[in-house]
Amino acid sequence: MKERQNYCNPTICNRTDLMTEDLVFMDKESISERCDRVNTSVCKQICDLLNAKKIDLAVNLIEWMKKSQ
């Protein structure tokens, strides 16, 4: 099991995929392994929004997440 990041800094690639700042693609399974508990639920919501093609809402959620940390 990989060490969880204390600060999850996700970004969106090609308006379809969630990635870490280390350029690693994240899906719901890898989010549970990589992110701390606070960010896990937010990152999973971002994945759901991207899968539903709600890119603007996903971007807004990432911006909110970065401001709140």
For the full predicted model, state whether its pTM sits above 0.85.
no
For residue 29, give its domain range. 11-68
Q: Would you place residue 1 in the very low, low, confident or very high pLDDT band (cuts 50, 70, 90)?
A: very low
- Report which of residues 6 and 22 the model is more confident about: 22
More confident residue, 6 or 68: 68
**Number of structural domains, the chain?**
1
Please report whether residue 1 resides in a domain: no
CB 33 within 8 A of CB 4: yes
User: Looking at the domain assignment, is residue 24 inside a domain?
Assistant: yes
Burial class, 26, CB count within 10 angstroms (exposed 0-12 / middle 13-18 / buried 19+): buried
